[in-house]
Structure 1
Amino acid sequence: MNIPLMDMITRSGMMGRVIILLLLIFSLVSWAIIFNRLVVLGRLSSGNRLFRKKFAGLRRLSEIENLSLSDLNSPMAQLGRSGAIEYRRILEDARSHTAVKDWSFFLQNQFTMARDYLESSFNSIVAPFDKGVFLLAMISSIAPFLGLLGTVWGIMNSFYEIGTHGSASLPVVAPGIAEALITTIVGLAVAIPSLFFYNYINHRTERIEDDLDEFKETLTVRLKREIFNLLYSGKPTRQTPPSQSNNYGP
């Protein structure tokens, strides 16, 4: 039975039209989420790549705070700025604590606090990455069931009309069949793209999070190296405590 799409919609009953309307709303919402996430994730990936190049050319972590706002407009830049804040904090604490006897223990505690702060910053940065994705998963799950509901309802209507008219002719069963077919088609048309892009967006999000996690580890190692180089680079003696050394740098 070759019936145009709009003709199938007009032939369907009120229940079928309500289901189709709900599915169309779901479709609009899902595509809005898809386009938004694709644009946002693309911008995040591009910003991370640009900052990674700038980060490789910095002499000290403190220089991150001198970058322009456009250079800091990426998740990796925000994480790098957190590292710069911890870099400055550790140096200030080293200057202010003049009575420290065990500097190894002191710095170990400082680095633990820095790691915890970077981990907290990482979690807050990646939290918005999943925005709207849960709704996309719900749509991909609900849409087929709505289509199935329309299919069952259409078949029931066909049997009801057959019983009422005592005939199984095409004009009698056409509305029910049209309702069953159109709701099934629309349900799958909404569910399949939602499911595909849900998996795709999750994959891209995980890649960005993995890159950020790798950068967090690189940032932690560089933070430790720069602090040790700066605080223990005094020339008079290797035993000079960091709080008495004049070679702090900016």
Structure 2
Amino acid sequence: MEPIDFSLLALFARATFTVKLVMLLLMAASVWGWAIIIQKHIAFRAARRAAARFDKAFWSGEPLDGLFSEVGVNPKTAPERIFAAGMTEWHRSHRDSGAMIPGATARIDRSMDVAIARESERLNGGLPFLATVGSTAPFIGLFGTVWGIMNSFEEIAQQQNTSLAVVAPGISEALLATGLGLLAAIPAVIFYNKLSADSGKIVGGYEVFADEFATLLSRESDD
């Protein structure tokens, strides 16, 4: 009797079409999830560096109008976009006489809040997919396992043989689907929690800057 091949490729090749489809779906979800994880790590690192550079420039003592001119009409980083939103509304809130329009402070705050919300949406893009994979992949894998075991029992009934040589290959193929589900879900859950926390810290830094900036503008309007 020839030995049974229990390699991953052999298990996949022997699986039924439905179980193969489940495995391919889980492998695709895992690859996509890792792509999001890597991309987010790179993006968050760049966001932290940009925030540190802008914070240094903002508190360097340079006049705000000068810094606004350097940022330009098309700011490239998140802190610059938040700063530009506040400065744009600040300039719009001045009358021709130089006096401030009533309610200017509230409008400046709202404009920066909108900018922060947009940056938060950019930072969190892709994280819902990780959450979805983390919560559904084990169940998708379990579905593949149940389907595979059901087919194994059907094969046992057809052959009328309950020996381990008949049962083991089908059970192994079925359990592979559960293993792939866990392989996709565990990293997705771990990195979703980590990336969500990192995103919250970055957005929190934006909110602190917006509050400090609004305070400075408020002092300017009172002078």
Q: Compute the TM-score of the two structures, normalised by the length of structure 2.
A: 0.88
**Larger of the two Rg values belongs to structure:** 1
Alignment-derived partner of residue 158 in structure 2: 164
Alignment-derived partner of residue 82 in structure 2: 79
Alpha-carbon distance in 2 for matches of 1:96, 1:206: 38
Dislocated runs of 4+, deviation >4 Å? none
Alpha-carbon distance in 2 for matches of 1:72, 1:14: 51
Q: Cα distance, 1:126 vs. partner?
A: 2.1
Amino acid at match of 1:192: I
Q: 2:37 aligns with which of 34, 58, 62?
A: 34
Within the alignment, does 1:21 sit opposite 2:24 as a pair? yes
Alignment-derived partner of residue 241 in structure 1: none
| Contact 1:143/1:187, CA 8 A, preserved across alignment | yes
Amino acid at match of 2:163: S
Amino acid at match of 1:112: A
Amino acid at match of 2:95: D
Q: Cα distance, 1:108 vs. partner?
A: 5.2
Q: Cα distance, 1:182 vs. partner?
A: 0.8
| Contact 1:83/1:118, CA 8 A, preserved across alignment | yes
Q: What SS does structure 2 have at the residue aligned with 1:93?
A: coil
Alignment-derived partner of residue 192 in structure 1: 186
CA deviations on 1:13-61 (whole Å, 9 max, x unpaired) are 2222111111111122212211222211111111011100110013432
Call closer, same or farther: CA 1:51–1:96 in 2, change over 3 Å: closer
Q: What SS does structure 1 have at the residue aligned with 2:95?
A: helix
| Contact 1:151/1:180, CA 8 A, preserved across alignment | yes
Alpha-carbon distance in 1 for matches of 2:79, 2:160: 71
Amino acid at match of 1:142: T
Cα RMSD (Å) of the superposition? Answer: 2.3
Alignment-derived partner of residue 237 in structure 1: none
Alignment-derived partner of residue 140 in structure 2: 146
Within the alignment, does 1:115 sit opposite 2:101 as a pair? no
Alpha-carbon distance in 1 for matches of 2:40, 2:135: 19
| Alignment gaps of 5+ in structure 2 | none
Within the alignment, does 1:66 sit opposite 2:69 as a pair? yes
Alpha-carbon distance in 1 for matches of 2:213, 2:98: 24
Within the alignment, does 1:183 sit opposite 2:185 as a pair? no
| Contact 2:71/2:84, CA 8 A, preserved across alignment | no
Within the alignment, does 1:57 sit opposite 2:51 as a pair? no
Amino acid at match of 2:221: I
Alignment-derived partner of residue 238 in structure 1: none
Q: What SS does structure 1 have at the residue aligned with 2:97?
A: helix
Alignment-derived partner of residue 242 in structure 1: none
Alpha-carbon distance in 2 for matches of 1:165, 1:14: 21
Residues 92-131 of structure 1: matches in 2 within 5 Å?
92-93=94-95, 95=97, 109-131=103-125
Q: 1:4 aligns with which of 4, 7, 29?
A: 7
Alpha-carbon distance in 1 for matches of 2:104, 2:96: 9
| Contact 1:16/1:150, CA 8 A, preserved across alignment | yes
Amino acid at match of 1:26: A
| Alignment gaps of 5+ in structure 1 | 98-105, 230-250
Q: What SS does structure 2 have at the residue aligned with 1:3?
A: coil
Q: Cα distance, 1:10 vs. partner?
A: 2.6
Alignment-derived partner of residue 233 in structure 1: none
> How many pairs were matched up?
219
Amino acid at match of 1:122: I
Calculate percent identity across the aligned residue pairs.
Answer: 29
Q: What SS does structure 2 have at the residue aligned with 1:146?
A: helix
Amino acid at match of 2:169: P
